[in-house]
Structures are given as structure tokens and as C-alpha cells.
Amino acid sequence: QQQVKQSPQSLIVQKGGISIINCAYENTAFDYFPWYQQFPGKGPALLIAIRPDVSEKKEGRFTISFNKSAKQFSLHIMDSQPGDSATYFCAASLQGGSEKLVFGKGMKLTVNP
């Protein structure tokens, strides 16, 4: 049972464009939603995260939009750069013990110069 569904699986955008990655979750008890960025040959690293009590969080060119009623959240990358080319994972977790993360399947982003 996949608890976090991520789409699309891959995306190609031009430099300066907007990249949008969508995720949907099933477990309404999830209360923490991070996005991780992974470059080839490296481990994932936290990019940005949101809690369900806010609808949007922005850090530089990266914005998370959260829709609690629809059980969906998305990552927007503004002014995409070739250096943003990586695999992006959304995740969700349930607080109160182990803070285990359930990851989406990932999306490979390619930003062409």
C-alpha cells in the first residue's frame, strides 16, 4: 500500500521556468511533510518542509503548497536552474515516537540551459 503518491515521475523544464511536483497522501494522521533533494551518487538531503497547520511555506525559490482537505501538497521551483537538476522526493510522517518517513517514489527533474 503506497501511502504517498508522487507525480510526475520525470520532468524536463527550460532554465528560468517553473517546476511543479505533486504529492497526495492517504493517512490523515500524517502531520509533517518534507521534501528531499537527491543528486546523483549522493544521499537525499532535506530541502523544505511544512506542517499541516499552514497552507504555504516559501524558502527562496522553493515553495510548498499544502491542501489539507484534498490531502495534497506540492513543491514549486521558481526560476529553475540547471543546478536544480536532481531527484525530488516528497515524504510524510507521523509524529510521536520514531518520526519515520514514508517517501513517494521520486521525480527526476532535468533543467536544460
Partner 1 sequence: NAGVTQTPKFRVLKTGQSMTLLCAQDMNHEYMYWYRQDPGMGLRLIHYSVGEGTTAKGEVPDGYNVSRLKKQNFLLGLESAAPSQTSVYFCASSSGTSGFIAKNIQYFGAGTRLSVL
Give the binding site for partner 1 (CB under 8 A). Answer: 6, 9, 32, 34, 41-46, 49, 51, 89, 93, 95, 97-106
Residues 73, 50: contact at Cβ < 8 Å? Answer: yes
Question: Shortest Cβ distance from residue 34 to partner 1 (Å)?
Answer: 7
Question: Shortest Cβ distance from residue 105 to partner 1 (Å)?
Answer: 4
Of 17 and 32, which has the nearer Cβ to partner 1?
Answer: 32
Question: Shortest Cβ distance from residue 107 to partner 1 (Å)?
Answer: 10
Q: Which residues contact 44 (CB under 8 A, 6 or more apart)?
A: 36, 37, 38, 89
Of 95 and 112, which has the nearer Cβ to partner 1?
Answer: 95
The 3-state DSSP class for residue 82 equals: helix
Grid cell locating 10: 520525470
- Cα 1 to Cα 7, 32, 45, 91, distances in angstroms: 16, 19, 25, 15
Question: Shortest Cβ distance from residue 98 to partner 1 (Å)?
Answer: 5
Of 41 and 113, which has the nearer Cβ to partner 1?
Answer: 41
Of 83 and 96, which has the nearer Cβ to partner 1?
Answer: 96
Helices (H), 1-113: none
